Amino acid sequence: MKLVAGIDSSTQNCKVTVRDLDTGAAVREGKASHPSGTIIDPNRWWDALLTAVRRAGGLDDVIAVSVSGQQHTPIFLDETGEVVADSPQWNDTGSHPHMMALNAELGRDEWIRRTGLPLTLSDTAPKLRYMRDLHPEAVARTAAVAIVHDWLTWRLRGFGPGSGRAGLDELVTDRSEASGTGYWSPETDEYTMDLFEHALGRTAILPRVLGPLDRAGVTGAGIPGIPAGIPVGIGSGDNAAASLALGLQPGEAVLSLGTSGVVYARAARPVHDYAGYVCSYADATGDHLPLVATLNAARNFELATSLLGCTFDELSDLALAAAPGAGGLTLLPYFEGERTPDLPHARGSLHGASLANFTRENFARSVIEGTLASQVAMLDALHACDVPTNRLLLIGGAAQSPAVQAILGELVDIPVAVPAPDEYVTMGAAMQAAAAAEGAFPAWRVAVDELAAVPFEPQVGAQYEAAKTALGYVDVLAAPADGPATGAASVTAGSPAA
């Protein structure tokens, strides 16, 4: 049996899955937690990778390895390859004023025209400006900037601290990771260096962008649990890896409920959303992956279980015991601020509570309804950019919840399917490892459960929009209260709320 390894360095942890090259079946896996917080020492990510590899039984028997990971988060390196500062993660909201400054200086539409990104606080360019403004001494020492998966790939190849090999020119990346920076063009597949320098205030080395089937190199010597000389795949951003694993086809969309909520679809051409929400990322195959994201998703359910003193299964049972609309109880789940809509300083709020409706069942349902209403608004944003969808794939840690499945079906009018539980990001990375070893992506089958259609429930969307209106939130992503999310554009003209 030939084995390949896929690594997912996500926001919360690092996962390693070793798979059978012929079938894609998981043989063994390991996991290690990342530190909490949103400003992180990158070396903690490398340490977690090594721990996860050890817990997976090492990689001595694999023929190739590849890394995927959280997008956007920059790592700043000096001329010797040492990290010069802690990294502001994609979900750190401290870069919001710096994003606003970049948009004010060049015009928001200019960023969209040139990069396909409505610049958000999550993108790399605002993180560069954040560092320039708040940590100029670190920027003065910066010789190269990489994203998390770029840097981990580089470390696997034997470069970095203690190696005696600075090797900054050996940094490589893929289109998906480059497309999330805010200084890469989806039309030319090249960096827009003037935008990078405008954000950071100086030039620096950037990872070379390789093609979908390219090999990053081979593993270096002396890395615990990892043999030297095996092929290293090019890797990708996490959503691109999941899309590759799922075999996403044009006309299909994915809703991923993890730390963040993400909706994306496969497209042949880049998207330029001047309404300001759809990000024109690239995928891992050579196509494009228009994507919309929220900061708040599955952690909302963790909060609910903690407050109610119940398990996830019990939360689902409670929610399904309540009627659609939760008796008028409505949650706006902006606990960590929000990216879509652009409300970085907002906080979660509960609306319509009365002595009659404030029950455990209604509260459980309001948490799930409010979270999913945020995601459905993102699906509408894709439709408004002429990215039609005729099938929705639900993945992520919350996808197996019966309440999540049932309530999502009430909010959309396209078929919903749930792929079998798996680590799809590590699977996509493992497919890239296989390509590095064999020259082509493997054809691994993913089992999918098609959900039964359920009646559309318009009051859920109506309550969600009414709650936003009550707080004065200006949202151009408002889904029509009297109709479900469909293939037709439903986004009105306007700008995100500042």
- Bridge partners of residue 74, in order along the sequence: 147
Q: Are 77 and 148 in contact (CB under 8 A)?
A: no
From CA 432, how far away is CA 65, in angstroms rounded?
8
Residue carrying the six token digits 């990689």: 59
From CA 442, how far away is CA 432, in angstroms rounded?
9
From CA 380, how far away is CA 263, in angstroms rounded?
10
Asked, as a colleague might, if the bond just before 97 is cis with ω within 30 of 0, I would say no
b (16+ CB within 10 A) / e for 426-456 = bbbbbbbbbbbbbeebbebeeeeeeeeeeeb
From CA 249, how far away is CA 285, in angstroms rounded?
11
Q: Are 171 and 137 in contact (CB under 8 A)?
A: no
Q: Are 343 and 497 in contact (CB under 8 A)?
A: yes
Contacts of residue 180, defined as CB under 8 A and 6 or more positions apart, other chains included, come to 71, 72, 117, 123, 124, 147, 237, 279, 281
Catalytic machinery residues: 238
From CA 350, how far away is CA 147, in angstroms rounded?
37
Residue by residue, DSSP assigns 160-224 as BTTTTB--GGG-EEEHHHHTTSSSEETTTTEE-HHHHHHHHSS--B-PEEEPTT-EEEEPPTT-T
Residue carrying the six token digits 């010797």: 80
